């Protein structure tokens, strides 16, 4: 078992743990953070966000990002696995109540 890495949403100051093989999107959801998503397979680009620090690898060979976008740091969280701690800009992210908040 490899260690989890930490993903930080720069604007909101929220953090969650991400651990392969879960994608950044799945890890966010597990932590109650909802990032925009639609296809969840790396084609629609709904989930695109800027990663200002850290590295990811992809589950698929050709995530729907141009080379320029990759160079600028854009990632597709639905098919990205965090390899190091990440800082991402996801202004549209929202947070669900934590399970402990619901009395469940």
Q: By CB under 6 A, name the binding residues for ligand FES.
A: 37-40, 42-47, 64, 76, 78
φ, ψ at 66 (rounded to 5°): -80, 165
Closest CA to 7 of 77, 68, 70: 77
**Between 20 and 44, whose beta carbon lies closer to ligand FES?**
44
**Between 12 and 37, whose beta carbon lies closer to ligand FES?**
37
Q: Please say whether the beta carbons of 54 and 85 come within 8 A.
A: yes
**Between 13 and 62, whose beta carbon lies closer to ligand FES?**
62
- Min CB(19)–ligand FES separation in Å: 19
- Three-state DSSP at 101 gives helix
* Residues near 62 by beta carbon (within 8 Å), at least 6 away in sequence: 42
- Min CB(10)–ligand FES separation in Å: 19
- Min CB(36)–ligand FES separation in Å: 8
């Amino acid at each position: 078992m490899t260690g989890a890495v930490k993903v930080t949403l720069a604007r909101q100051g929220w953090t969650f743990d991400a651990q392969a093989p879960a994608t950044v999107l799945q890890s966010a959801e597990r932590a109650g953070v909802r990032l925009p998503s639609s296809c969840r397979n790396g084609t629609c680009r709904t989930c695109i966000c800027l990663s200002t620090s850290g590295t990811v690898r992809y589950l698929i060979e050709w995530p729907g990002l141009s080379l320029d976008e990759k160079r600028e740091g854009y990632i597709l969280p639905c098919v990205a696995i965090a390899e190091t701690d990440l800082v991402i800009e996801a202004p549209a992210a929202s947070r669900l109540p934590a399970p402990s908040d619901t009395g469940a």
